[in-house]
Amino acid sequence: MSGLFFYNLLYTYKYMKLFLLKRNISQYTFPDIFLGCFNSLENANIAREQYLSQYQHGRKIDPWKEQGYKTVDLEKDVEIIGNLPIFGVTDTSQFVFVVNSYSEGFGQIMRMFYAICGTEEFAKEKLREMKEKWEDMFDQYFLAEKFNLNDLYPDDNLQDNYWLDD
């Protein structure tokens, strides 16, 4: 690997902090939903409030208000994650690749988020690492989905994304 790779890795590790916004869904109903990735906790909280308000104030009917084997609590289900590893994202990045996996077993679909990458190269490397480490009896596939940074995505954003599956 090149010196630039290690410089980007060190820079990202020391200086970048990103926040992923997601909605937890019953694994018997649908995988968790990615709602956005933000460059500050303030931006993530603003987007979270925007998302919550559309359902709390009746502008829209919550498509996830009924879920299998789970009591829905909108406030608790919409979560900000600030501890995912970040690779190759800079102050000028306008989009990110979110590395995640989907696994299925016993009637459940689980989505896990693993890393946020600033380039296709970093995302492909993370995908390779995840596939090499994976050992389980359930079907699992890994994706790196490309999203604009600081955008709030709708509940149905799985359909239109650019994604890598290495």
Do the Cβ atoms of 37 and 19 come closer than 8 Å? yes
54-75 pLDDT per residue, tens: 998 777 889 999 999 999 999 9
12-37 pLDDT per residue, tens: 555 679 999 999 999 999 999 999 99
Do the Cβ atoms of 99 and 37 come closer than 8 Å? no
pLDDT of res. 49 = 97
Number of domains composing the chain: 1
pLDDT of res. 67 = 93
Do the Cβ atoms of 28 and 67 come closer than 8 Å? yes
- Among residues 146, 137, 139, the alpha carbon closest in space to that of 165 is found at 146
DSSP 87: E
Domain residues for the domain of 101 are 3-164
**Percent of the chain scoring above 90 in pLDDT:** 63
Whether 166 has a pLDDT exceeding 60, the answer reads no
32-46 pLDDT per residue, tens: 999 999 999 999 999
Q: Model pTM?
A: 0.86
In sequence order, what are the residues at sequence separation of 6 or more whose Cβ sits closer than 8 angstroms to the Cβ of residue 27?
108, 109, 110
pLDDT of res. 159 = 47
Q: What gap in Å lies between CA 86 and CA 88, rounded to an integer?
A: 7
Whether 136 has a pLDDT exceeding 90, the answer reads no
